[in-house]
Structure 1
Amino acid sequence: MMGGLEAAVAGASSPSWSQRVRAGRDLASFADVPEAAEALVGLLLDVEDAAVTRQTAEALARAGTVAAVRLIALAAAEADDHQTDWLQTGVHDALVEPDDVLDLAAVCRQLARDPNEAVRRGAAEISAWAVGAKC
């Protein structure tokens, strides 16, 4: 792994919520790298601080890649109600500035054909959030 990526992956397990938030932001552009993806899902499902969940979801939604949104979908399929609320808030935060976000609905349509049922289920949920954010 590269130095910056390695440091961000290490930051994902920090006891400091602010370091975990920073790790989520730093790792979002590496969503297609297995080590980063694993750390990002952990941050999306952070049980200690909702800010970590929210800001990691926002960073991934802003990245807007299929790999990034797929991680949000995986987390949404596993999340409890509290985590789901913060995942949704993070996605909504990213949609406030649509210039920086790919069309999440189009990405979710791609993920609707994913072989993993949890990804398909999570993508449907994200798609509903994106529609709700535009209303």
Structure 2
Amino acid sequence: MTKGWEAALAEASSPSWTRRVRAGRDLAPFAEVPEAAEALLELLLDAEDTAVTRQTAEALTRAGTLAAVRLIALAVAEADDNRADWLQTGVHDALVDSDGGLDVAAVCGELARHPEEAVRRGAADLSAWTDGNGL
């Protein structure tokens, strides 16, 4: 497993957007690991390709862990309006395809008490995306 983990970290900084998308998917289950979290946050805010943002947000939403959703919340807090739209699209894609198995709103509720203001702010926005949208 370590070998794939190291390969995914290397792919996260690739000039190829498809490799960065793959890295986001492969690293999402490791969101609690500091090195992976740092790379995932960069992928969520990818300045070169919105597909990387969207697919990484989707993978982290599917992971559904506190660490994964925390990273999305941080990205939402830092994102400009355009990037936030793509983050929202990735979250939406994961929730629509989840058959109700993901409870991002519950995780956002936990993050509402997070010590970092940016996480609380991003979690509030993320929670609003899931409220009233049929998700």
* TM-aligned CA distance change 1:81 to 1:51, over 3 Å: same
* TM-aligned CA distance change 1:128 to 1:48, over 3 Å: same
- CA–CA separation in structure 1 for the residues paired with 2:125 and 2:45: 16
Note if contact 1:53-1:83 (Cα within 8 Å) is conserved in structure 2.
yes
Give 3-state SS (helix, strand or coil) of 1:133's partner: coil
Task: Give the corresponding residue for 1:78.
Answer: 78
For residues 45-124 of structure 1, the aligned pairs below 5 Å read: 45-99=45-99, 101-124=101-124
Of the structure 1 ranges 91-100 and 30-39, higher mean CA displacement relative to structure 2 is found in 91-100
Query: CA offset at residue 100 of structure 1?
Result: 6.9
Q: Which amino acid aligns with 1:35?
A: E
Structure 1 residues 82-126: Cα deviation after superposition (integer angstroms, max 9, x where no partner): 100000000000011233742011000000000000000000010
Taking only the aligned residue pairs, the percentage that are identical comes to 74
Structure 2 residues without counterparts, runs of 5 or longer: none
Figure out how many residues of one structure are paired with residues of the other and give that number: 135
- Using structure 2 for the length normalisation, give the TM-score: 0.96
CA RMSD of aligned residues (A): 1.4
Moved over 2 A (4+): 98-102
* TM-aligned CA distance change 1:56 to 1:100, over 3 Å: farther
Task: Give the corresponding residue for 1:23.
Answer: 23
